[in-house]
Structure 1
Amino acid sequence: MKKANLKDYDITYGAFDWEKETAALSGLPEGKGLNIGYEAVDRHGSGSLKDVLAIRLVRKDQSYEDLTYGALKKRTAQFANVLRRLGIEEGERVFSLLGRVPELYITALGSLKYRAVYCPLFSVFGPEPIFQRLSKGEGVVLVTNVQFYLKKVRDLLGRLPALKYILLTDAAEDLDDRALSFSKLMDKASEDFTIPPTGEEDPALLHFTSGTTGMPKGAIHVHKAVYTHYITGKYVLDFQPGDVFWCTADPGWVTGTSYGIISPLVNGVTSIVDEEEFDAMRWYSILEKEKVNIWYTAPTAIRRLMRMKMVPREKFDLSALRLVLSVGEPLHAEAVAWGKEAFGVPILDNWWQTETGGIMIANYPSMKIKPGSMGRPLPGVEVGIADVDGEQLVLLDGSDAQGHLVLKKNFPSIFRAYLGEEQRYQKCFMGDWYLSGDLAKKDADGYYWFVGRADDIIKTSGHMVGPFEVESNLMKHPAVAEAAVIGKPEPSIGELVKAFVVLKEGHEGNEDLELELIGYARKVMGPAVAPKEIAFVDSLPKTKSGKILRRLLKARELGLPEGDLSTLEKN
């Protein structure tokens, strides 16, 4: 077993210095700045990793398409030259609307090298979410395929005056003056491209995050965010020479960019990319066949795997697997323990947001695991629990302090703006602190525990109830596969706790089981916190990143507007 990169958390955290820790990132030649594309591709493609596999794409038919770092350098140079030929200016926005295909990775990295701003879109989006993001982001180039173009984009063109070109990845010839063949342009482009001088504060990435109502927010990140991508890859994902890494995140989500593209490449490891969507047996076979060392997935997938009655390492050779991590929705303690049985290693949870650009709080391979905990802050990131009242922020000390989770805004990957919404952006900060919108508590050992979104907290009979705590306890019942909890207005107590429960196979949702679950919850949590109503459902509404949409459950329960549903996972 390899020794972890982070050998002593307390020593590393106490002595951490961003500039010293990221000295391995060389910067552009001749001191011409810092560029994510260079650090992820060109410095490896011109060096000792030139012939090392950067990306292995597993096609739907299980054939391969491999890209070495040297080949990736050439292909991304070609795309940068395509942007130059089309007259795209630095800082303009290049969007992708694709699944996990090579052209997506070439588009992302080539755009970064060119100093355009890259923005991914979920391939499952319908026309209106696509329009909202292209319009708000003033996209000038969209890379997509013929099917998506004809079904989702073509009818929008009259409403998108800024969109100059649509590059079609599977068209041999141009469709018209605006819809061009990706491959034809690439064939004519040079494989040599010199990255222009790039400021570390130059915009690099645009990620849209769903709002509870109205239009999504566009978070802008800069090239200096690569520092966080590098350090989290080193200390949280524990990348080491020769590692094979697989991030299952959809490339339309921020994790699919930060950890599906940038972080593994910056750290010089091999990434596995599966073109197909979730399929348990296929996933296990890929883990076995590709000898994956580090696997980064989502709670949605883990919950699906847990519902299968099998221990995967008894049927598949998963001996190469050194680390399994989860991100998206807080991971229940039962899932951590299940990971130990299923894979031989526990599943390590971590916390971050679109706005932070990278992992901020994590469980580390070399550190004691407390199942259900978010873990401890990334070295170089200062985290606190605060009481926020109006314009006042007071940090809380002491064991089990509970309040707003806040982060000192001096880490490299903090977002620099909400596109076109300065006032909304400023509301995210109070002095030197970023307000995450999450509530958490910190224990005596410095571990953080997720309580809930501030706007999800339930106020019942004078108590402040965090949905995650109730859900975690309900999932300990042998009949419960998943649970989501909301507050429902009740004049006598403020709100009552209502739970939506998905049952495991072999259990039937009826009045007897409802009473059993309510009694179980009252015994475990006490009558003030336990659910007073339970509804049995076939599935819970979630985003593709695995977050349970409690606000949507509440809106439907109360007949309120449902808000932005563009990232809703289709069941």
Structure 2
Amino acid sequence: MLVKEQYDNYEDFCRRYKPEAPANFNFAYDFLDKADPDKLALVHLDDDGNRREFTYGFFQERSARLANALMAKGVKKGDRVMLVLYRRVEYWTVMLAMHRIGALPIPSPSLLTRKDITQRVNYAGISAIICEDSICERVDEAKGDCEGLKIFVQVDGETNDGWLGYEALLAEGDASCPRTDATPCGSDPMVIFFSSGTTGLPKMVMHTFDYPCSHFTTGAHWHDLEDGDLHLTLSDTGWAKSVWGKFYGQWMAGGAVFVWDFRGKFEPAELLRIMAENKITTFCAPPTVYRFLVREELTKYDLSGLRHCTTAGELLNDSVFHAWQKAFDMPIYEGYGQTETTLQVGTFKFMTPKPGSIGKPVPGWDIALLDEEGNEVPQGEEGEICIRIDKPVLGLFDSYMDEPEKTAAVKFDGWYHTGDKAWADEDGYLWFMGRTDDLIKSSGYRIGPFEVESALVAHEAVIEAAVTGVPDDVRGQLVKATVVLAPGYEGNEELTKALQAFVRELTAPYKYPRIIEYVSELPKTISGKIKRKDIREADLKKMA
């Protein structure tokens, strides 16, 4: 159905690669059911070191049984179903069953509180929930305030009162679930992701059944997967990144997905050991993970099977890029996208990566950097990343579900406005600056937080940093860094001066942080994004 071709360079890629979705596409029927049932689809490693392999035939049968069983319980096309599952095999089975039914899965993180569950269930009109046994108590506490929530399915553990046991339910379903004229496809709603929103309730990002096809670009070209490869994306299943790197594109490219289902604290040495022992061939993780990995003794691990690495979610600093390349003789290829999109900007193997650059626009995404009046900015000047939408864009979200006014606020005048800022260099590479409200205006300069953060974390004393602006009568704003130190370092005046001097050497002198605050941890969303707004608000309260 989808064939990976080889490209000589970026211009050749843009000229010949045309992402598209077949007519009336439904991933469960048009990819899964047509796949070789004996081919390896997924390798799962649990916290106890148990390794299991699963074929496409496993998912064909189990998803059909679950779809039939859920429909018999009243789940139907258009229903919204919350999934709170760890990195476990049932996640893939449930998602595929939802695609067969046409019910809309809403993957959600396990860190949701009772209040979060109540808000999201009512906000989204959720009628069923499928979750871990460890989440059931929170759901039971919340369900009295959730009138529309009718069906409860528990995965693992002794089944609680009022809950359906997952395995017992699965046994009730028939293994045949043929396609019919009513089967959802194409432009029908397929999945909802809650955005990770740093303020207020997150928005409901809805994608249609054509959406998985855009991830072929992610799997085949950005992850560079070949038939038989084993790919590891280190992502939780509660977010859109899980289907970026653990599902549609990797399978369509012919690779198998490797899942490390760790439940406790992330241990970088353990990840390296697992990658070596399981001969991972391609790998994707956020820059924070790479920063922890390069602090390990990398020569201890045989990663000879690894041939391609990618990163997204924040900017990768130079020191990590070069440390990784020196250790494994391979670069890290950056990329950029949102919950509302698939990969829209990237660096590919036929391009020379520039550390800190997110790359160039992906074919199928007509991208421009616009100013506040909607005009394209000159090369080298900052602008908002905007996507032309005067014709359909494969991979772009359909809408913010049930909220047309929020959709209209970002889709207007023929463009989708991402709310992210970047600038382009002389070679056409884009350099991400941050959200529009994260930019700092100091003495007439506009400073993006990422470049300063990247310089800070390149210092051996710094594990994490968040850069914000604080009001100043003279400069308008001062650059402030909130820093988490590595073990063995003490936040004092001497270290502050050393960090300031270090940043001045790596960036333009006016960008260095004039204020540095040392903290034990940074405020983050449950998806792990730094909440710079919380830092700014806390600073304003202190100043008041």
TM class by shorter chain equals: over 0.9
Between the aligned partners of 1:295 and 1:186, the Cα distance in structure 2 is 33
Query: Residue type matched to 1:386 in 2?
Result: L
Between the aligned partners of 1:265 and 1:417, the Cα distance in structure 2 is 26
1:352 is aligned to 2:337:
yes
Report the alpha carbon displacement of residue 526 of structure 1 after superposing the two structures with TM: 4.9
2:81–2:128 contact (8 Å) kept in structure 1: yes
Cα gap change, 1:227 to 1:521, in 2 (>3 Å): same
Query: Residue type matched to 1:216 in 2?
Result: P
Between the aligned partners of 1:525 and 1:145, the Cα distance in structure 2 is 47
Tell me the equivalent position of 2:349.
365
Q: How does 1:443-454 map onto structure 2 within 5 Å? A: 443-454=425-436
Q: How does 1:190-201 map onto structure 2 within 5 Å? A: 190-196=174-180, 197-201=183-187
Report the alpha carbon displacement of residue 447 of structure 1 after superposing the two structures with TM: 0.6
Tell me the equivalent position of 2:268.
280
Q: Which of the numbers 470, 474, 485 marks the counterpart of 1:488?
A: 470
Cα gap change, 1:524 to 1:349, in 2 (>3 Å): closer
Q: How does 1:373-522 map onto structure 2 within 5 Å? A: 373-389=357-373, 393-397=374-378, 399-409=379-389, 410-522=392-504
Between the aligned partners of 1:439 and 1:56, the Cα distance in structure 2 is 38
Cα gap change, 1:463 to 1:117, in 2 (>3 Å): same
Q: Which of the numbers 96, 101, 115 marks the counterpart of 1:114?
A: 101
Tell me the equivalent position of 1:565.
none
Between the aligned partners of 2:283 and 2:239, the Cα distance in structure 1 is 17
Secondary structure of 1:328's match?
coil
Q: Which of the numbers 237, 251, 262 marks the counterpart of 2:248?
A: 262
1:456–1:467 contact (8 Å) kept in structure 2: yes
2:66–2:173 contact (8 Å) kept in structure 1: yes
Tell me the equivalent position of 1:569.
none
Query: Residue type matched to 2:470 in 1?
Result: K
Query: Residue type matched to 2:368 in 1?
Result: G
Secondary structure of 1:464's match?
strand
Secondary structure of 1:265's match?
helix
1:222–1:416 contact (8 Å) kept in structure 2: yes
Query: Residue type matched to 2:268 in 1?
Result: A
Moved more, 246-255 or 126-135: 126-135
2:100–2:184 contact (8 Å) kept in structure 1: no
Q: Which of the numbers 51, 58, 77 marks the counterpart of 2:64?
A: 77
Tell me the equivalent position of 2:290.
302
Query: Residue type matched to 1:271 in 2?
Result: V
Report the alpha carbon displacement of residue 549 of structure 1 after superposing the two structures with TM: 2.3
Report the alpha carbon displacement of residue 205 of structure 1 after superposing the two structures with TM: 0.8
Secondary structure of 2:210's match?
helix
Give me the TM-score of the superposition, normalised by structure 1: 0.89
Cα gap change, 1:343 to 1:543, in 2 (>3 Å): farther
1:41–1:266 contact (8 Å) kept in structure 2: no
2:107–2:237 contact (8 Å) kept in structure 1: yes
Cα gap change, 1:249 to 1:4, in 2 (>3 Å): farther
Report the alpha carbon displacement of residue 12 of structure 1 after superposing the two structures with TM: 2.2
1:6–1:235 contact (8 Å) kept in structure 2: no
1:239–1:264 contact (8 Å) kept in structure 2: yes
Secondary structure of 1:394's match?
coil
Report the alpha carbon displacement of residue 173 of structure 1 after superposing the two structures with TM: 5.1
Between the aligned partners of 2:350 and 2:259, the Cα distance in structure 1 is 27
Moved more, 477-486 or 112-121: 477-486
Secondary structure of 1:304's match?
helix
Between the aligned partners of 2:158 and 2:6, the Cα distance in structure 1 is 47
1:298–1:546 contact (8 Å) kept in structure 2: no
Moved more, 226-235 or 452-461: 226-235
1:249–1:545 contact (8 Å) kept in structure 2: no
Report the alpha carbon displacement of residue 538 of structure 1 after superposing the two structures with TM: 2.8
Report the alpha carbon displacement of residue 401 of structure 1 after superposing the two structures with TM: 3.0
Q: Deviations over 1:502-561 (max 9, x none)?
A: 33344322111212323444455455332211112233334455533222222222239x
Report the alpha carbon displacement of residue 279 of structure 1 after superposing the two structures with TM: 2.1
Report the alpha carbon displacement of residue 367 of structure 1 after superposing the two structures with TM: 1.1
Secondary structure of 2:372's match?
strand
Report the alpha carbon displacement of residue 354 of structure 1 after superposing the two structures with TM: 0.5
Q: Deviations over 1:443-502 (max 9, x none)?
A: 111110011211001111121111112222333444333322100011222111111123
Report the alpha carbon displacement of residue 188 of structure 1 after superposing the two structures with TM: 1.4
Secondary structure of 1:427's match?
helix
Cα gap change, 1:464 to 1:77, in 2 (>3 Å): same
Cα gap change, 1:37 to 1:557, in 2 (>3 Å): farther
Query: Residue type matched to 2:156 in 1?
Result: D
Q: Deviations over 1:328-368 (max 9, x none)?
A: 11222222212213333222111000111x11111111211
Cα gap change, 1:17 to 1:257, in 2 (>3 Å): closer
Q: How does 1:44-63 map onto structure 2 within 5 Å? A: 44=35, 49-63=36-50
Q: Deviations over 1:279-325 (max 9, x none)?
A: 223211221122111111122222222333x12xx212211101111
Q: How does 1:135-146 map onto structure 2 within 5 Å? A: 135-146=122-133
Tell me the equivalent position of 1:342.
327
Query: Residue type matched to 1:352 in 2?
Result: G
Q: Deviations over 1:250-295 (max 9, x none)?
A: 0001101232222222333211111114222321122112211111
1:555 is aligned to 2:543:
no
Report the alpha carbon displacement of residue 86 of structure 1 after superposing the two structures with TM: 1.1
2:101–2:184 contact (8 Å) kept in structure 1: no
1:202–1:222 contact (8 Å) kept in structure 2: yes
Query: Residue type matched to 1:160 in 2?
Result: C
1:245–1:264 contact (8 Å) kept in structure 2: yes
Q: Deviations over 1:25-78 (max 9, x none)?
A: 6x6xxxxx211222442121xxxx221111111111111232200111001111
Tell me the equivalent position of 1:203.
189
Secondary structure of 1:559's match?
helix
Between the aligned partners of 1:544 and 1:307, the Cα distance in structure 2 is 25
Cα-Cα RMSD = 2.1
Report the alpha carbon displacement of residue 193 of structure 1 after superposing the two structures with TM: 0.7
**Corresponding residue pairs, total:** 533
1:89 is aligned to 2:90:
no
Between the aligned partners of 2:527 and 2:7, the Cα distance in structure 1 is 27
Query: Residue type matched to 1:73 in 2?
Result: Q
- Moved >6 Å (runs of 4+): none
Q: Which runs of 5+ in 2 are unaligned?
A: none
1:488–1:495 contact (8 Å) kept in structure 2: yes
Q: Deviations over 1:91-128 (max 9, x none)?
A: 11121111111211111111012111111110121111
Report the alpha carbon displacement of residue 8 of structure 1 after superposing the two structures with TM: 2.6
2:279–2:306 contact (8 Å) kept in structure 1: yes
Q: Which runs of 5+ in 1 are unaligned?
A: 28-32, 561-571
- Percent identical across equivalent pairs? 31
Between the aligned partners of 1:95 and 1:333, the Cα distance in structure 2 is 40
Cα gap change, 1:88 to 1:526, in 2 (>3 Å): closer
Tell me the equivalent position of 2:32.
41
Tell me the equivalent position of 1:100.
87
Q: Deviations over 1:115-174 (max 9, x none)?
A: 111111101211111222222121121111333112x11021121121111101125656
1:175–1:181 contact (8 Å) kept in structure 2: no
